[in-house]
Structure 1
Amino acid sequence: MARSLSQRLFLAGSVAAIGSLLLTGCGSSKIGGNSGAAPDASQTVNSEGTDPALVAMVPAALKSKGTVLIATDSTYAPSEFKDAGGNIVGMDVDLGNAIFKKLGLTTQWQSADFGSILGGITAKKYDLSFSSFTDTKAREQQVDMVEYYNAGEAIATLTGNPYKLTGVAADLCGVKVSVEANTTESAEIAQTINPACKKAGKAQVPDNGDQFTAQTDSTSAVIAKRDQAMLADSPVIDYAVKQGQGQLMKIGQDYNTAPYGIAIPKNDGRLAQAVQGAIKDLIKDGTYGQILTKWGVDSGALTADKVLINAAAS
């Protein structure tokens, strides 16, 4: 994942100094903390009002409640993570708040384990989720996915590349790789990378990757030299490198670029269409671009015509 995706960071000793940053930090991509949480985390964005036509599309039960409960894996900076005060912040949070303001609803954000979120939506525990989910056909069987951002996958290792890695996923045979559980990346190791390694007669990635429930812990494992590389969504890798105080470097190029999707209950009235319309509004009025720029992730911006529903390629 991009993030089908991902979780989080830090330890002790020399890592402790970074640990306070990383532990605060989310599928498909978290490091966090007030210090350096974003290129300019205090930057404000447009505050547009509601869109009456879209408000009319909100299901009656949700409109009556007035609040939307949003699940998120708050360990995935810069998309969603906790700041030093314990508040859930990030690109997805700013975008979600702006979307539901358009729809006349107040947002309530709740931290959740990434692997449990889709089941929680189908069980009606949550109204929906922003959590850097890569839109896949398998996920579309459980929920409707409204695409809102493009992310790829990427690889990071210790600065100086002491293990002489190429930065190509196919070359990770025999490498100890940390990864967030239940993400696109963890599935890639098990379903693509290791079968190819086996076919080529090479050693496989041990244990289908060193699996963590938080991206912050995955990052910490590389810093602590428990693992040799980290596989995660490209925004997460980029952010981890920026916040890692020189301990991490990105190797190779982003690959497997695909859209993130907002996970919404299947066939929930016209809610998916309302959310889609709100994103298009935010793109047109400039709020969307301001939010992405605020968090340093504008390279994955979509144009309004690319904000699709259930359009996964695979």
Structure 2
Amino acid sequence: MRRMSLIAATGVAVAGLALSACGSNSMSNSSPGAGSTPAASGTSAGGGVDQALAAKVPAKLKSAGKIVVGTDPTYAPNEMLATDGKTVEGFDIDLFNAVAAKLGLKTEYVPAGFPTIILGVTSGKYDMGVSSFTINPDRKKQVNMVSYYKAGTLWVVAKGNPEKVNIDDVCGKSVGAQKGTVQADDLAARSKKCTDAGKPAITQVIQTGQDQVTADVASGKTVAMLADSPVGLYAIKQTGQLEPLGDIYDSAPYGYVVPKDQTDFANLLVEALKATKADGTYDAALKKYAVEKGAIDNFAVNP
């Protein structure tokens, strides 16, 4: 999936759809837009420190007292900016804050364009990435991925489906997705099928942020969009202008992005996730944003 965020406000104004998806500056539980300056350090919410787990934290992180996290805050309700325009929030954020708390660490979120986050992790710019990354073979070649949630792809159209969109035949139509996501790949593959069959290609409207993707379908620029299921459902709820089309498909786990040489740390995150599941903070983070359907309990490294 991504993944990715959605809309900040409901209503007709497309400008009001500014919020969300899977960047690049720093903050902590705050996340101004890409290119912004660091904010205060993040919280250590959750059920408290697990001393046994905290003792296993890598020396570099223990010394810093925090984890620097790359995230794309345009993917509501997973990762998004609060109404102050700088604080990063969402179910992904609440959950990872609880995970970090188990390790006795704070969090500092750095807003970034989704396609740049893995590079930021591999180059050392971020300690890790938390941004609704779907676990897939290509990503596992570059980094370790720690599973924590499961989502699929959902198509979204204007309420009433006025353009009579058929998922199995969108040749020649304008359809949106976010750059760097599995949905963009899905759309490209569908378009190739169209041209291979001698039909018009899909007009693929690929935007940098999910907020733009959502705004496009709400305004009629595109007839449909593809997004991760929690993101699509949130957009439908927030705008009141959209509805789902068809069923959720290609469900797969989201994963935290961890450097390839940090396997011990990745395994430690698995243990911290298990601890949040045991004390209820895992389920509380999902319930707060009504995304409980994607909960898992088989956390693992590179599943």
Same topology, TM > 0.5: yes
**SS across alignment from 1:24:** coil
In structure 1, what residue type is equivalent to 2:58? Answer: P
- 2:126, 2:238 → 1: CA distance? 31
> Alpha carbons of 1:7 and 1:83: their partners in 2 closer, same or farther (altered >3 Å)?
closer
In structure 2, what residue type is equivalent to 1:124? Answer: G
Query: In the TM superposition, what is the alpha-carbon distance from 1:10 to its structure 2 partner?
Result: 8.4
Asked if 2 retains the 8 angstrom alpha-carbon contact of 1:9 and 1:216, the reply is yes
**SS across alignment from 2:12:** helix
Query: In the TM superposition, what is the alpha-carbon distance from 1:173 to its structure 2 partner?
Result: 2.2
In structure 2, what residue type is equivalent to 1:266? Answer: K
> Any residues of structure 2 matched to 1:119-268 within 5 Å, and which?
119-166=119-166, 168=167, 170-190=168-188, 192-206=189-203, 209-244=204-239, 246-268=240-262
> Alpha carbons of 1:6 and 1:172: their partners in 2 closer, same or farther (altered >3 Å)?
farther
- 2:270, 2:148 → 1: CA distance? 8
- 1:112, 1:265 → 2: CA distance? 17
- 1:120, 1:77 → 2: CA distance? 22
Asked if 1 retains the 8 angstrom alpha-carbon contact of 2:177 and 2:206, the reply is yes
The corresponding residue for 2:277 is 283
- Greater RCO, 1 or 2 (C-alpha within 8 Å, sep 6+): 1
**SS across alignment from 1:240:** helix
The corresponding residue for 2:302 is 310
- 1:78, 1:26 → 2: CA distance? 9
The corresponding residue for 2:21 is 26
In structure 2, what residue type is equivalent to 1:239? Answer: Y
- 1:200, 1:88 → 2: CA distance? 44
In structure 2, what residue type is equivalent to 1:182? Answer: G
The corresponding residue for 1:95 is 95
**SS across alignment from 1:15:** coil
Asked if 2 retains the 8 angstrom alpha-carbon contact of 1:149 and 1:261, the reply is yes
Q: TM-score, normalised by structure 1?
A: 0.85
In structure 2, what residue type is equivalent to 1:137? Answer: P
The correspondence for 1:270, drawn from 261, 264, 267, is 264
In structure 2, what residue type is equivalent to 1:47? Answer: G
- 1:275, 1:301 → 2: CA distance? 16
- 2:234, 2:15 → 1: CA distance? 14
- 1:273, 1:120 → 2: CA distance? 21
- 2:282, 2:262 → 1: CA distance? 25
- 2:173, 2:262 → 1: CA distance? 44
Identity %: 40
- 1:15 paired to 2:12: yes
The corresponding residue for 1:30 is none
The corresponding residue for 1:41 is none
The corresponding residue for 2:58 is 59
How many residues are treated as equivalent by the alignment? 280
The corresponding residue for 1:36 is none
- 1:114, 1:294 → 2: CA distance? 24
- 2:173, 2:192 → 1: CA distance? 14
Query: In the TM superposition, what is the alpha-carbon distance from 1:200 to its structure 2 partner?
Result: 2.9
Asked if 2 retains the 8 angstrom alpha-carbon contact of 1:50 and 1:103, the reply is yes
> Alpha carbons of 1:10 and 1:289: their partners in 2 closer, same or farther (altered >3 Å)?
closer
Query: In the TM superposition, what is the alpha-carbon distance from 1:220 to its structure 2 partner?
Result: 0.7
Asked if 2 retains the 8 angstrom alpha-carbon contact of 1:26 and 1:78, the reply is no
The corresponding residue for 1:300 is 294
Query: In the TM superposition, what is the alpha-carbon distance from 1:56 to its structure 2 partner?
Result: 2.4
Query: In the TM superposition, what is the alpha-carbon distance from 1:274 to its structure 2 partner?
Result: 0.8
- 1:77 paired to 2:69: no
Asked if 1 retains the 8 angstrom alpha-carbon contact of 2:172 and 2:202, the reply is yes
Query: In the TM superposition, what is the alpha-carbon distance from 1:140 to its structure 2 partner?
Result: 0.8
**SS across alignment from 1:120:** helix
**SS across alignment from 2:19:** coil
In structure 1, what residue type is equivalent to 2:123? Answer: A
Q: TM-score, normalised by structure 2?
A: 0.88
